[in-house]
C-alpha cells in the first residue's frame, strides 16, 4: 500500500480453562498475540487482566496501557523488565488492543488508548472494553448521550459503546435482588443501537469475558482453544502464534461468553446480506491470516492472476518476455506480483524494492507521512535498469507514496514503468473502519474521469496504469459480491447510517468544488 491508509485496530482475548489461580500465561500470550497484530495499529497498545484477588484488597481488573509499539508495553528490549511486567499482570483472563483510531482524536495519549475501564463498586457492573471498527451513527449516539447529561471525556467510539453497556446493565439488572443481567440480552440491547463495523471485547469484574461481532461481519474475528486456554483475536495468525491450530470464525451477529464454566456462543442476528471488508483481504490482514476461512495469501495470488488475464500489454509481452520484470511494492503486494508473473511467464523480482522502514504509512498521521515516504524504500538498480517494469501495487488511494517510489525507480534508468493495481478504483469514503472519509482525498476523484487511467499514470509518473476489474476482485475473493463490502468501490453502503454519512460527504465535496 503506497497511500498510507489507517486501520481500525486489532483486539484479542484469552481465558484459562482451569481458572483456579492467577497465571502468567495470560499476559505472556496477550503480548504474543498483540505483537503478531502490530501491523493493525502502531500508535499505542493496552491490556486489561482479570485477577483472582490474593488478599482482602486489590484490583480485580488491572489495566496497563502505553503509547507506541507493543514492545514498549512489555518492557522493550529489557528482558528482566518484561518478565517483571508479565508476572505483575498475571490473572485468569485478559483482553488486549493495538490502536490506530478511525474516529475522533488520532493521538496516542493514555486517555485514548484501550482497553477503557468502566469503574463501579460492584464487580459485575465493573468492566474493561476494547473495540475494533467504526460506528457510522456515532454523531447521533453522542447527541443522545449528551441529552441524557453524559459527560464524554473523549471523542472515541469506544467511550460511547461503554456508556451504552452501562445503560444496558442498569436496564437489565435488579438492584434489590442483586440479579445480574443476562449477557446475551445486554449485548442484544447494545447491538440494536449501533450502526457500523464493530468487534467488541468486554472483561467484567466478576470474571466473564464477552465477545461481540456485528451482524454484517465487516471485520474478521476468530477464536479457538488449546489444552490450557480459550482465545479470540482479529486475525488467525495471532491465535497460531500462541499454539492454537483449530481456528473457528465467529459468525456475524454472534456473542460469545467465556467464563469458568466454559464457552457459550449464541447468534443473535441473522442477516442475509454480509459485508466482509475486501480491504482486509487486499491490504490490512497479514498474508498468513485467513479471510473468513480462506487463505489471504491465495486470495492475493489470485488477484495478481486476474490482473494478468486482463493485461492490456499482453501481446507486446509475448514478443520478448526477457525485457520485462515484475516487482511488488512491499509487502502486501508480494503474493499478487507472484501470481501476475506466473500467468504471464515473466521474471518475478521480489527484492527490487526493499522496505527499510517497517512503519505502515497508512497507519500514521499526515504530518508523519512525508518523512516515512522519503525513507521507506531502497531500490536495487540492477533489477530495473533497461527493463520494462511491471510495478504491482495492492491499491491506490492518494498516490503520494507511489509517485515517490516511481521517482526512485526512474533513477535506475528503466525502459518503462507499468503500474498495475490489484484493487479496483477506490472513489467513495469508508465509514466502517478505514480512515478515508472524504471524497476529495481519492486520486480517482481529482483526475479526469474520461481518461482516468491515463491521467493517473501522468500524475504518478508512470508510463501506463491499469486497475483491477471488479469481476477480477470478486473472483479472487471467492465470495458472492453480496457477501462483500465494496462501498468504497461502488458507493453501495450496506447500512442506513453509512449511506447518510456518504451523502453528507458527497455534498461537502461538491460544495468545495463550486
Report d(CA 194, CA 497) in Å as an integer. Answer: 10
Query: Kind of pairing, strands 93-99 and 44-50?
Result: antiparallel
Report d(CA 406, CA 408) in Å as an integer. Answer: 5
The tens digit of pLDDT for each residue in 43-68 reads 999 999 999 988 788 899 999 999 99
Cell of 348: 518475478
* Domain range list for the chain: 10-271, 295-513
Q: Which residues is 127 bridged to in the sheet?
A: 118, 204
The tens digit of pLDDT for each residue in 337-386 reads 999 999 999 999 998 888 776 555 544 555 555 555 556 678 999 999 99
pLDDT of residue 58: 84
Contacts 24+ apart (CB under 8 A), 467-472: 467/421, 467/423, 467/424, 467/425, 468/303, 468/306, 468/307, 468/310, 468/421, 468/422, 468/423, 468/424, 469/306, 469/310, 469/424, 470/424, 472/303, 472/306, 472/307, 472/309, 472/310, 472/424
Report d(CA 12, CA 70) in Å as an integer. Answer: 13
Number of neighbouring beta carbons within 10 Å of residue 71: 16
Q: Determine the Cα angle at 64 with ends 61 and 69, to 5°.
A: 150
Cβ(218)–Cβ(2) below 8 Å:
no
10-271, what's its fold? 3.60.20
pLDDT of residue 371: 56
Report d(CA 86, CA 361) in Å as an integer. Answer: 30
Cell 481465558 sits on residue: 15
Q: Which residues contact 382 (CB under 8 A, 6 or more apart)?
A: none
Longest dimension (CA), the chain: 84
Number of neighbouring beta carbons within 10 Å of residue 361: 21
pLDDT of residue 512: 83
Report d(CA 24, CA 16) in Å as an integer. Answer: 11
Cell of 74: 512489555
Report d(CA 128, CA 342) in Å as an integer. Answer: 49
Q: Phi and psi dihedrals of 264, rounded to 5? A: -135, 115
pLDDT tens track of the chain, all 514 residues?
545 454 469 999 999 999 999 999 999 999 999 999 999 999 999 999 999 988 788 899 999 999 999 999 999 999 999 999 999 999 999 999 999 754 445 555 888 999 999 999 889 999 999 999 999 999 999 999 999 999 999 999 999 999 999 999 999 887 665 788 999 999 999 999 999 999 999 999 999 999 999 999 999 999 999 999 999 999 999 999 999 999 999 999 999 999 999 999 999 999 889 999 999 999 999 999 999 999 999 999 999 999 999 999 999 999 999 999 999 998 899 999 999 999 999 999 998 888 776 555 544 555 555 555 556 678 999 999 999 999 999 999 999 889 999 999 999 999 999 999 999 999 999 999 998 999 999 999 998 888 999 999 999 999 999 999 999 999 999 999 999 999 999 999 999 999 999 999 999 999 887 6
Q: Which residues is 46 bridged to in the sheet?
A: 65, 97
295-513, what's its fold? Rossmann fold (3.40.50)
Cell 479496483 sits on residue: 424
Distances 202 to 136, 166, 285 between C-alpha atoms, Å: 21, 12, 23
Q: What is the mean pLDDT of the chain?
A: 92
Alpha-carbon torsion 455, 461, 464, 468, what sign? negative
Cβ(204)–Cβ(124) below 8 Å:
yes
Distances 394 to 12, 345, 401 between C-alpha atoms, Å: 27, 20, 13
pLDDT of residue 1: 53
Q: Where are the alpha helices (DSSP H) in 6-111?
A: 25-36, 70-73, 79-88
Beta strands, E only, 51-136: 61-67, 93-99, 116-118, 127-135
Amino acid at each position: 500500500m503506497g497511500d498510507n491508509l489507517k486501520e481500525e485496530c486489532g483486539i484479542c482475548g484469552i481465558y484459562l480453562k482451569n481458572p483456579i489461580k492467577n497465571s502468567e500465561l495470560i499476559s505472556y500470550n496477550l503480548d504474543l498475540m498483540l505483537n503478531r497484530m502490530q501491523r493493525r495499529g502502531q500508535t499505542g497498545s493496552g491490556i486489561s487482566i482479570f485477577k483472582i484477588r490474593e488478599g482482602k484488597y486489590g484490583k480485580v481488573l488491572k489495566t496497563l496501557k502505553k503509547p507506541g509499539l507493543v514492545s514498549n508495553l512489555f518492557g522493550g528490549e529489557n528482558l528482566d523488565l518484561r518478565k517483571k511486567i508479565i508476572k505483575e499482570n498475571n490473572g485468569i483472563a485478559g483482553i488486549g488492543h493495538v490502536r490506530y483510531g478511525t474516529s475522533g482524536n488520532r493521538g496516542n495519549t493514555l486517555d485514548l488508548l484501550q482497553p477503557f475501564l468502566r469503574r463501579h463498586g460492584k464487580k459485575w457492573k465493573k468492566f474493561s472494553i476494547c473495540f475494533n471498527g467504526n460506528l457510522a451513527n456515532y454523531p447521533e449516539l453522542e447527541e443522545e448521550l449528551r441529552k441524557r447529561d453524559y459527560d464524554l471525556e473523549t471523542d472515541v467510539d469506544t467511550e460511547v459503546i461503554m456508556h451504552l453497556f452501562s445503560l444496558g446493565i442498569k436496564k437489565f439488572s435488579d438492584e434489590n435482588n442483586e440479579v445480574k443481567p443476562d449477557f446475551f440480552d445486554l449485548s442484544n440491547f447494545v447491538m440494536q443501537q449501533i450502526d457500523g463495523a464493530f468487534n467488541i471485547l468486554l472483561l467484567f469484574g466478576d470474571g466473564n469475558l464477552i465477545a461481540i461481532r456485528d451482524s454484517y461481519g465487516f471485520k474478521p474475528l476468530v477464536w479457538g482453544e488449546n489444552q490450557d486456554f480459550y482465545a479470540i483475536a482479529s486475525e488467525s495468525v495471532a491465535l497460531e502464534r500462541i499454539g492454537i491450530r483449530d481456528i473457528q470464525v465467529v459468525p456475524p451477529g454472534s456473542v460469545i461468553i467465556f467464563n469458568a464454566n466454559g464457552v457459550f456462543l449464541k447468534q443473535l442476528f441473522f442477516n442475509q446480506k454480509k459485508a466482509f471488508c475486501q480491504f482486509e483481504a487486499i491490504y490490512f490482514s497479514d498474508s498468513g491470516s485467513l479471510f473468513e476461512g480462506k487463505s489471504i495469501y491465495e486470495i492475493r495470488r489470485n488477484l495478481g492472476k486476474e490482473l494478468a488475464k486482463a493485461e492490456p500489454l499482453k501481446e507486446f509481452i509475448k514478443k520478448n518476455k526477457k525485457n520485462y520484470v515484475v516487482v511488488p511494492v512491499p509487502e502486501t503486494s508480494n503474493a499478487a506480483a507472484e501470481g501476475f508473473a506466473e500467468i504471464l511467464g515473466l521474471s518475478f523480482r521480489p527484492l527490487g524494492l526493499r522496505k527499510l522502514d517497517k512503519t505502515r504509512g497508512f497507519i500514521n498521521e499526515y504530518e508523519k507521512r512525508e518523512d516515512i515516504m522519503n525513507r521507506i524504500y531502497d531500490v536495487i538498480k540492477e533489477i530495473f535498469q533497461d527493463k520494462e517494469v511491471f510495478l504491482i501495487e495492492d491499491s491506490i488511494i492518494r498516490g503520494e507514496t507511489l509517485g515517490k517510489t516511481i521517482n526512485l525507480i526512474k533513477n535506475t534508468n528503466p525502459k518503462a514503468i507499468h503500474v498495475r493495481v490489484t484493487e479496483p478504483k477506490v472513489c467513495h469514503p469508508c465509514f466502517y473502519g478505514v480512515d478515508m472519509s472524504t471524497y476529495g482525498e481519492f486520486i480517482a476523484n481529482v483526475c479526469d474521469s474520461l481518461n482516468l487511467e491515463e491521467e493517473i499514470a501522468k500524475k504518478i509518473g508512470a508510463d501506463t496504469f491499469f486497475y483491477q476489474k471488479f469481476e477480477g476482485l470478486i473472483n479472487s475473493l471467492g465470495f458472492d459480491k453480496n457477501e462483500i463490502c465494496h462501498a468504497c468501490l461502488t458507493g453501495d453502503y450496506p447500512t442506513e447510517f453509512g449511506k447518510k454519512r456518504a451523502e453528507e460527504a458527497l455534498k461537502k465535496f461538491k460544495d468545495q468544488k463550486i
